[in-house]
Amino acid sequence: MTRRLPVVLALVAVGLLFAYPFWWLVSASLKDRSQVFDNSLLPSVFRPENYAEVWRAVPLLAWVGNSVAVGFAAAAAATVSSAVVAFGFARFRFRGRNVLFGLVLATMMLPAAVTMVPVYLEWHAVGLATTQVPLWAGNLFGSAFYVFLLRQFFLGLPAEVFDAARVDGAGPWRQFRSIALPLARPGLIVVFVFELKAAWTDLIRPLIYLREPELYTLPRGLKAVLDRFGQGGEAQWELVMAASVVATVPMILLFLVAQRYFVRGTVTQRVEE
Amino acid sequence: MTSAREARAGWLFVLPWVFGFLLLTAGPMLYSLYLSFTHYDLLKPARFTGLTNYREILTDDRAATALWNTVFFTLLHVPLQIVLALGLASLLRRAGRSAGFFRTVLFLPTMTPPVALAALFLLLLNGQNGAINAVLGWFGFTGPQWTTDPAWIKPGLVLMSLWTVGSTAVLYLAALTRVPGERYEAARLDGASPWRQFWHITLPGISGTIYFTLIVNTIASLQVFTEAYTMFFGARPSTPAEGDAALFYVIYLFQEAFGSLRMGYASALAWVLFVVIAAITALQVRLSRDYVHYEDRS
């Protein structure tokens, strides 16, 4: 135990270093404008009104709603479609399967920035370039990393249960729905929470696609708050910080609820490779 | 199930991905390659201009600045991230039962939306009265003007990026726990110092994971966008003091495509980025042959 003490002390120091910016954020969001920069740990006058003020100044509630809607649509689409595709790769033999799966792995390495412009032009061509649809609809086709991850889950299931189901007359779809999906639940949750987080924190696609402030997701809205309240002598940083807290807290809660899935996903993400 | 039925079922299940690949990857890449030889502003049909876009990139000062900024950031950010994550993972490994708690603390920053992170660090990095310079002041250092001095903007962004080192540290922790303990015992019996143990057992044991994070983090770092864009671009006009010190490649690509509506030029920029990333990845793959051990892959 005594040999552990220096390690724990070092970790406490690092932990404080990592926790301090959070503390600063929440504390600044409750401060008076004149105090934001004074680096005191606690506000001398508590101003929860900052939250009401930013709430009145911008459509924060609509942004939260948009982020929830887009996030859940993106996560549900990615989970269902990736599970279907992964089951196809894991369970059935067909000509071209290995080449196709090689392509799946190759797209994992493709820089996203390369398809940014042409994919926008596709949405533009079908008249959906200024809607929220491009923020989630691409997920309906399964995404490489999740296909890879769920395929590992399905490969880990014993073949006998599928054989038994087949003898009982269950077709491929029934085997998928009634056996594979329930057993792969931990993997499905990993995909869901990962994609929920990715959609909730994304800025670049909302910047490209969303024009109307009413359609903004939280990060896009937060950028607008920063552009409006974060400049010049009239800057109102306490409002920017309050909006930042609103954007951050749901992700912290999500993590605390689904912590082990995040860690598992992060680890499978890279190590299994 | 006959093999014909099995094959049909297999194809039906993977069909969504095949469609997605054609619609969102292969199709767009061909389209983008074509566009890179054209002038296209969305208003008039694309006009074929041959190699004009690529020739323009060669003489475009902002493209050169953007590429240099990006490579500079990557060279600083990726190694620091790996070394720091390795250090934190080694600490966590020896933390015993409290490891779970500290893992959570280290992981939480990675959940912060990058826009919120950027807004927050714009204040923490503030040169006059930001918290980071205040801490440096305790130790007698006068901190630089992180957000306005062009020489310090990129180091400031790197410093900020280290706050999200937690997810890499968690990966390394998982890899460390899989290195067989007997090796350390054998080494201790032979009287190997902790440093020698680290160098000859730990590093080879997790080299596969380090290698993978090197590649993934490099690809991600060469496409860095959100934090720098949030802090220095958008409705905020960048001041002459900042110049283009935070102009990263994807930011420039984004501005050309969606600000100036130069879709052809932006496509050519994208292809240059693709080639740069592919070349760097290929180089890393090649170097890895000599240094990466895949013993548990047998």
Q: CATH number for the domain including B148? A: 1.10.3720.10
Whether residue B154 lies inside any domain: the answer is yes
Q: Report yes or no: A234 at the B interface, CB cutoff 8 Å.
A: no
Q: Is B120 helix (H, G, I), strand (E, B) or coil?
A: helix
CA distance B172 to B255: 37
Confidence of residue A272 (pLDDT cuts 50, 70, 90): very low
User: What is the reported pLDDT for A5?
Assistant: 86
A247 at B interface, C-beta within 8 A: yes
Centre a 10 Å sphere on the Cβ of residue B94 and count the other Cβ atoms it contains: 15
Contacts with B128 from chain A: Cβ below 8 Å: 37
Residue in the structure block whose two tokens are 């924190």: A201
Return the pLDDT at B235: 72
Is the residue at B7 inside a domain?
no
Query: Which tokens sit at B297?
Result: 């892959």
Q: Rounded to an integer, what distance in angstroms lies between the CA atom of residue A82 and that of residue A73?
A: 14
pLDDT tens figures, B25-81: 999 999 999 999 999 999 999 999 999 999 999 999 999 999 999 999 999 999 999
C-beta of residue A59 within 8 angstroms of C-beta of residue A74:
no
Do the chains contact at A18 and B19, CB–CB below 8 Å? no
Supply the range of the domain harboring residue B179: 76-247
Give Cβ neighbours of residue A263 (< 8 Å, ≥ 6 apart). B103, B107, B170
User: Does the residue B141 lie in any domain?
Assistant: yes
Residue B124 lies in a domain: yes
Q: Examine residue B160 and state whether it is found in any structural domain, yes or no.
A: yes
Whether B7 sits inside 8 A of A112 (CB atoms) is: no
**Mean pLDDT of the region A159-164:** 87
Distance CA B92, CA B101 (A): 10
How far CA A100 is from CA of A104, A144, A153, A215, B18, in Å, comes to 6, 11, 19, 37, 8
Q: Per DSSP, what are the bridge partners of residue B38?
A: B48
B45 lies in some domain: no
Residue B1 pLDDT grade (very low, low, confident, very high; cuts 50, 70, 90): low
Domain count within chain B: 1
Instruction: State the pTM of this model.
Output: 0.94
Write down the mean pLDDT value for chain B: 92
Q: Which sign does the torsion angle of CA A63, A68, A71, A74 carry?
A: negative
Torsion of CA B97, A16, B142, B246, to 10 degrees: 90
Domains in chain A (CATH in brackets) are 1-47 (no CATH), 58-272 (1.10.3720.10)
Measured CA to CA, the distance from residue B104 to residue A259 in angstroms comes to 8
What ipTM is given for this predicted complex?
0.93
- Nearest-neighbour CA in chain A from B240: distance (Å): 15
Cα→Cα distances A250→A45, A76, A215, A241, B279, Å? 26, 18, 19, 15, 39
Residues of A in contact with B7 (CB under 8 A): 92-95
B51 within a domain of the structure (yes/no)? no
Residues of chain A with C-beta less than 8 angstroms from the C-beta of B81? none
pLDDT at B297: 45
Closest residue to A244, CB basis, from B116, B208, B257: B116
Q: Is B97 a member of any domain?
A: yes
* Residue A190: its H or E element: helix A185-201
Question: Quick one: pLDDT band at residue A198, thresholds 50, 70, 90?
Answer: very high
Q: Tell which wins on pLDDT, A45 or B15.
A: B15
pLDDT of residue B3: 84
- Could you tell me which of B166, B153, B162, B84 has the C-alpha nearest to residue B125? B153
Specify the pLDDT at position B279: 95
Residue A209, CA distances (Å) to A62, B42, B206 in order: 17, 15, 41
